[in-house]
């Protein structure tokens, strides 16, 4: 699936990811390929994602995520 992590200033990441874990208001949740469409708010925490065999983390203060047709778009602040 495609993961895009963007802020008001720049694109922090855009590429393929096999798994994404996000800090939702009700707790962390994980997105895998073919996930159902979803829009959710994010709270302060860590976005974790796998790009091939590499693991990455990005700290966020909050934001929103839109998941649709194997595209995960995260807008952070």
Q: Considering the entire predicted model, what is its pTM?
A: 0.93
Q: What is the mean pLDDT of residues 16-42?
A: 96
| CATH of residue 60 | 2.60.15.10
pLDDT score at 52 = 86
Gap between the Cα atoms of 21 and 50, Å rounded: 9
Domain count, the chain: 1
Note the pLDDT tens digit of each residue in 41-69: 999 999 999 998 999 999 999 999 999 99
Query: What percent of the chain has pLDDT above 70?
Result: 100
Burial (CB count within 10 angstroms: exposed 0-12, middle 13-18, buried 19+), residue 33: exposed
* 10 SS3 class: coil
Mean of pLDDT values over 4-23: 97
Q: Is residue 7 within 8 Å of residue 1, measured between CB atoms?
A: no
Domain holding 50, by residue range, is 2-76
Determine the average pLDDT of the residues in 12-38.
Answer: 96
């Amino acid at each position: 699936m495609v993961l895009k992590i963007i802020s008001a200033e720049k694109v922090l990441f855009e590429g393929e990811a096999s798994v994404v874990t996000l800090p939702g208001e009700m707790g962390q949740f994980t997105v895998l390929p073919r996930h159902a469409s979803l829009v959710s708010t994010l709270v302060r925490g860590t976005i974790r994602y796998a790009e091939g065999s590499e693991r990455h983390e990005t700290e966020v203060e909050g934001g929103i995520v839109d998941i649709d047709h194997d595209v995960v778009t995260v807008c952070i602040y």
